[in-house]
Chain A
Amino acid sequence: MELLERFAAGDLEAFEALFRQHQKEVYAWIVRIVRDSGIAEDLTVETFWRIYRARDRFQPAGNFRAWARRIATNAALDHLRTTRREIELPEDLAGAEAADPAVRRETRDRIKQAFFQLPPKYRLVATLALVEEEPYDRIAEAAGISAALVKMRVFRAVRILRKQLNSLGVEVGAK
């Protein structure tokens, strides 16, 4: 029996094999959304927990990688929903170090503040599309929505950010 068939039938060894094959990729996707390595590790485990619980619904002929990425995106989105009020940005990983020193810290903080106040579904697409430069169709597949909807959410996220930044005293282009 194939690995995916054995997994769907509830074989723990098959699940372990899939876990080991995909954990790095799932983690790498999640950490780019939540931007914190510890949280990303927990969410990777949460993702595989959801995968294991939903094994009955998995079609062995289907694409496990795409399915796992979609579940990972949902887990990350759930996390963004529960932590929306926490505006502090985790100063974690290389991202913070790589930030442009030309942009003053105060301005950066305001941008982060505006960004972390975005509704989670907009924050998700804004992170992936604007910061990580993921293609719309890849984001769409992972989020389970159409590429047109991703584009619309990016547009709305930009509009909200512009308004927020202007209210925080950061000058951004007018409409």
Chain B
Amino acid sequence: MSNEENNKEIKELLRQALAPLKDTELRRDLWPQMLRKLDEQPSRVPWFDWALAAVLGAVLLLFPGAIPALLYHL
């Protein structure tokens, strides 16, 4: 059996078991749900940013001589 025929046979079986959706209409406005999600999840600083800041702080405390080098590279 060719790939084309094989595809067709599987496609027919699939379409008999999982017919294409006829009703894809959204029945309600999702904006209120969206607003709730926006309220629930204020933008947070990712943990790795805090970790990076902590490492940088520690380095500057231990090696204050690095401050000019850091400022030069900023």
Q: Which residues of A contact B (CB under 8 A)?
A: 12, 16, 19-20, 23-24, 27-28, 31-32, 35, 37, 41, 44-46, 48-49, 52-53, 89, 93-96, 98-100, 102-103, 107-108, 111-112, 115, 126-127, 130-133, 154-155, 158, 161-162, 165, 170, 172-175
Contact = CB atoms under 8 A, between A and B. Distances in A.
Most buried by A among B13, B16, B22, B38: B13
Q: Binding site of A, secondary structure by majority: helix, strand, loop or mixed?
A: helix
Interface residues of B, number: 33
Interface stretch (B26-34, B52-60, B66-74): B26-34
Contacts of A89: 18
Given A28-B24, A154-B7, A111 B38 contact: no
Most buried by B among A49, A131, A155, A161: A131
A172 B37 contact: no
Nearest to B43: A53
A111 B31 contact: no
A37 B9 CA distance: 28
B21 A132 contact: yes
B34 A48 contact: yes
Contacts of B11: 130-131
Contacts of B13: 103, 111, 165, 170, 172
A130 B26 contact: no
Contact of B17 (A12, A44, A48, A108): A108
A50 B10 CA distance: 35
11 contacts: A24-B26, A28-B26, A32-B20, A37-B27, A98-B22, A99-B17, A111-B14, A130-B10, A130-B11, A161-B14, A173-B5
A44 B3 contact: no
A16 B33 CA distance: 12
Contacts of A28: 24-26
Given A23-B26, A28-B26, A173-B6, A131 B34 contact: no
Nearest to A155: B3
Given A99-B17, A173-B5, A162 B31 contact: no
Contacts of A175: 1, 6
